[in-house]
């Protein structure tokens, strides 16, 4: 039982390049989330999807786009990477409202 799987684990981009972070969950959950974690800032919500076919902005959505491809997959895209997007990105999926969220192992992204 893999839970939440993120790819890639590490990535280095040049400023202006684009990339897509992939997330898949095998728990048949409706909700999926993308967070970024920066030193001294804690986990901040970028985008979330309450169900297949819906997406909404979180606290820090600028510079990102998302796609809920199906119930299993939720991708995060950086169209034109900036150094300020250097961070660790986590995908998460809760079982339901006010229940535990399962996190992936994270993607460590560096933009130079």
Partner 1 sequence: EDQVTQSPEALRLQEGESSSLNCSYTVSGLRGLFWYRQDPGKGPEFLFTLYSAGEEKEKERLKATLTKKESFLHITAPKPEDSATYLCAVQGYGGSQGNLIFGKGTKLSVKP
Question: Where along the sequence are the contacts to partner 1 (CB under 8 A)?
Answer: 4, 33, 35, 40-45, 48, 56, 58-59, 90, 92, 94, 97-106
CA dist 61 → 2, 17, 28, 36, 44 (Å) = 28, 18, 25, 10, 10
Q: Taken in order 26, 91, 65, 99, is the CA torsion positive or negative?
A: positive
Nearer to partner 1, 44 or 72 (CB): 44
Nearer to partner 1, 80 or 110 (CB): 110
Looking at the DSSP assignment, which residues form a beta bridge with residue 85?
A: none
| Shortest Å, Cβ 112 to partner 1 | 21
The whole-angstrom separation of Cα 65 and Cα 27 is 24
| Shortest Å, Cβ 42 to partner 1 | 4
Nearer to partner 1, 56 or 79 (CB): 56
């Amino acid at each position: 039982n893999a839970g939440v799987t993120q790819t890639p684990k590490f990535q280095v981009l040049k400023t202006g390049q684009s990339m897509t972070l992939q997330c898949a969950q095998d728990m048949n959950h409706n909700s999926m989330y993308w967070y970024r974690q920066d030193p001294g800032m804690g986990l901040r919500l970028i985008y979330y999807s309450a169900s297949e076919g819906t997406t909404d902005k979180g606290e820090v959505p600028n510079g990102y786009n998302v796609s809920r491809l199906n119930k299993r997959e939720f991708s995060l895209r950086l169209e034109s990477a900036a150094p300020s997007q250097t961070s660790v990105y986590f995908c998460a999926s809760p079982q339901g409202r006010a229940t535990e969220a399962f996190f992936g192992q994270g993607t460590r992204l560096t933009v130079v």
